[in-house]
């Protein structure tokens, strides 16, 4: 695959000190194989462990790795938005720092973006070619949430929550100023606005390999409640207040 242009990889991290040094070096080595210009932005979201120090150690060894800090733990969404403010690439990749989704899969997303001429490509657990095993309860919740999003926002997407996404810079330049969510429904707010603006979105298969014990089989009711409220708030802002239409 021959990609022309610079790629910015934004990796939000919170208390990943035990793995972040190795994960950053592995990510950097993976992108070197793509033979394209790139940068890796590790965003430390107010970690209370040695995440920042270990990330800085990796940055001292590899000049394509850069580390920035948020002012406290404000949520993954805010960390990604903060990281984008420091990104310089024509294409921006969101990648979870735990590498449960290995960066070697980015080549597939880039190919889909170029081949299908779309503006956004998102990893999807529910893609028929995805290789993933996760708890039945999680599958049921995922199906219900995807159905709700289809009804609320008319998005033809089966899964919005996978931590591997690829955007053309133009999309985020237009959408990020409108974004208010900092945590639970952040991905939905971005994608719903991109869809509303007419950008083309495609889903890609993913291989999900848990590097640590599965922590997300038992979802807290509090998280589900907050995600539901955030999602309804996005719908209210979009279709009742018309807030997104007023923000440049």
Over residues 91-133, the pLDDT tens digits come to 999 999 999 899 999 999 999 999 999 999 999 998 989 998 7
The average pLDDT across 36-58 equals: 96
Q: Are 148 and 89 in contact (CB under 8 A)?
A: no
Tallying the residues shown for the chain, one arrives at 248
Please tell me the predicted confidence (pLDDT) of residue 215.
46
> Distance (Å, rounded) from C-alpha 72 to C-alpha 128?
39
Beta strands, E only, the chain: 6-13, 37-44, 65-69, 91-95, 120-124, 164-168, 201-205
| Any domain includes 24 | yes
Element (H, E) at 77: helix 76-84
- Kindly state the average pLDDT of the residues 225-246: 94
Q: For tokens 């404000």, what's the residue? A: 74
Q: Are 47 and 14 in contact (CB under 8 A)?
A: yes
Q: Is-contact 43 13, C-beta < 8 A?
A: yes
- Reported as type and span, the H/E element at residue 146 is helix 136-153
Residue 214 pLDDT > 70: no
Q: Which pLDDT score, from 0 to 100, does residue 221 have?
A: 73
Task: Starting at the earlier edge strand, list the strands of the sheet with 164-168.
Answer: 65-69, 37-44, 6-13, 91-95, 164-168, 120-124, 201-205
Q: What is the mean pLDDT of residues 84-91?
A: 96
Query: How far is the C-alpha of 154 from the C-alpha of 166, rounded, in Å?
Result: 21
Q: Are 207 and 105 in contact (CB under 8 A)?
A: yes
Asked if the structure places residue 214 within a domain, the reply is yes
For position 152, what pLDDT does the model report?
95
Domain region containing 240: 6-246
Residue 206 resides in a domain: yes
Between CA 142 and CA 136 the distance in angstroms is 10
Residue 115 sits in a domain whose CATH number is 3.90.550.10
Tally of domains in the chain:
1
Is 1 part of any domain? no
Q: How far is CA 162 from CA 38, 132, 166, 187, 198, in A?
A: 22, 12, 11, 9, 22
How far is Cα 64 from Cα 177, in angstroms, rounded to an integer? 27
- pLDDT, average across residues 141-159: 90
Find where tokens 């100023």 sit: 177
């Amino acid at each position: 695959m021959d990609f022309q242009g610079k790629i910015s990889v934004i990796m939000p991290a919170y208390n990943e000190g035990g793995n972040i040094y190795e994960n950053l070096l592995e990510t950097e080595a993976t992108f070197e194989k793509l033979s394209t210009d790139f940068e890796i932005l590790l965003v430390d979201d107010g970690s209370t462990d040695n995440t920042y120090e270990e990330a800085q150690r990796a940055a001292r060894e590899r000049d394509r790795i850069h580390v920035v800090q948020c002012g406290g733990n404000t949520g993954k969404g805010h960390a990604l938005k903060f990281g984008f403010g420091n990104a310089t690439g024509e294409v921006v990749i969101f990648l979870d720092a735990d590498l449960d989704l290995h960066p070697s899969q980015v080549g597939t997303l880039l190919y889909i973006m170029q081949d299908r001429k779309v503006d956004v490509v998102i990893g999807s657990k529910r893609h028929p070619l995805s290789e993933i095993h996760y708890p039945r309860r999680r599958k049921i919740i995922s199906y219900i949430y995807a159905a709700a999003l289809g009804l609320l926002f008319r998005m033809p997407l089966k899964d919005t929550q996978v931590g591997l996404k690829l955007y053309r810079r133009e999309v985020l330049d237009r959408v990020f100023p409108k974004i208010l969510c900092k945590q639970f429904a952040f991905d939905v707010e971005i994608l719903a606005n991109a869809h509303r603006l007419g950008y083309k979105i495609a889903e890609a298969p993913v291989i999900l390999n848990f590097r640590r014990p599965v922590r997300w089989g038992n979802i807290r009711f509090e998280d589900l409640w907050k995600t539901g409220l955030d999602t309804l708030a996005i719908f209210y802002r979009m279709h009742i207040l018309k807030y997104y239409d007023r923000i440049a």
